[in-house]
Amino acid sequence: MKSAEKTGRFELKKLDEGALTITTISGALYMDYKNDISFLIDSTLNLYEHQSTYSPNLPLRYLLYISDVYSAMTKNMNLYGETAVALPAPRFIIFYNGAKKRPEREELQLSALYKVKEENPSLELRATLLNINPGFNDELKRMCKTLGDYAEYTARIRQYAQEMPIELAVEHAITECIKEGILAEFLSRQRAEAKSVSIYEYDEEKHLRMEREENYEKGYKLGEEAGYKLGAQQKVMDQVKKKLARGASVDEIASALEEEPETIKEIMDALK
């Protein structure tokens, strides 16, 4: 390592003179998931992140992140001078292996979050999401064995968790992967830590999924109740209309429908 410079939340580490600079945010958390890594190779700033939970807000989170990285890079530069500041071009990549179905490859755009859509927005950020679940981007996973091994490891945990408690599922997946040479060195060396993190991430993913399902059920129930209420109100209004057409008085209608006269008057006002 040639040098290291800490800048607030960042640590810029130069590994080879002019070749590679690590620009990962130190301790940055987004919805309980730590940003994985960002690094500079020559003139391209690569920002890679792993997500097991899909979020359409990823481009916004990347925007906040890249803003901080650029701020750290240019803190000693004259941003008000006449000389243009040379910035590395960013590339945003998300490796996704969540349970929710996503296409093999998709582009997430910051402009999709704008309240008012514009054909050519002044500010845009495009992030490429790569699905690394089984059956997706297999060539990429073959080219990068570590990525492929990780995808296989997490897929096995999900599979076994359907048949046994998560603690046993993770332990079974770790033992099996070590025997088959899947992340073998890492899992052998960091077995306890890997098990703990895997259980936490699975529980977190499950919690978020259950929370979404619970909110959906609550919304459906509220909508159903509101529908029943509206239906009942419409039925009363229809009956009031029919009785009015027959010349019934307010008191007669109220008595027939078992409603207060004031309620019938309010319905009559609404029918006008």
CA distance 239 to 202: 55
Q: How far apart are the first and last CA of the chain?
A: 82
Question: Considering the chain, what percentage of its residues have pLDDT values greater than 90?
Answer: 33
Q: Are strands 37-41 and 44-51 parallel, antiparallel or unpaired?
A: antiparallel
| pTM confidence score | 0.60
Highest mean pLDDT range out of 57-61, 193-197, 227-231?
A: 57-61
Which residues on neighbouring strands pair with residue 22, listed in sequence order? 13, 39
pLDDT of amino acid 1: 35
113, 57 Cβ separation under 8 angstroms? yes
Place of tokens 């650029």: 70
Contacts 24+ apart (CB under 8 A), 40-43: 40/88, 43/88, 43/89
DSSP 39: E
> What are the backbone dihedrals phi and psi of residue 118, each rounded to the nearest 5 degrees, phi first?
-125, 145
| CA–CA separation, 95 and 110 (whole Å) | 18
Angle (CA) 256 262 263, round 5°: 65
Beta bridge partners of 232: none
Among 12-26, 87-101, 175-189, 238-252, whose mean pLDDT is lowest? 12-26
Pairing of strands 29-30, 33-34: antiparallel
Cβ atoms of 192 and 170 within 8 Å: the answer is no
The pLDDT of residue 32 is 35
Question: What integer is the mean pLDDT of 60-82?
Answer: 91
Among 157, 14, 136, smallest CA distance to 73 is for 14
**Tell me, what's the pLDDT at 98?**
86
As a whole number of angstroms, the distance between CA 113 and CA 164 comes to 40
- Angstrom CA distances, 235 to 122, 149, 213, 231, 255, stand at 52, 62, 33, 6, 16
DSSP state letter for 25: B
| Residue 12, beta-bridge partner list | 5
Mean pLDDT along residues 248-265: 76
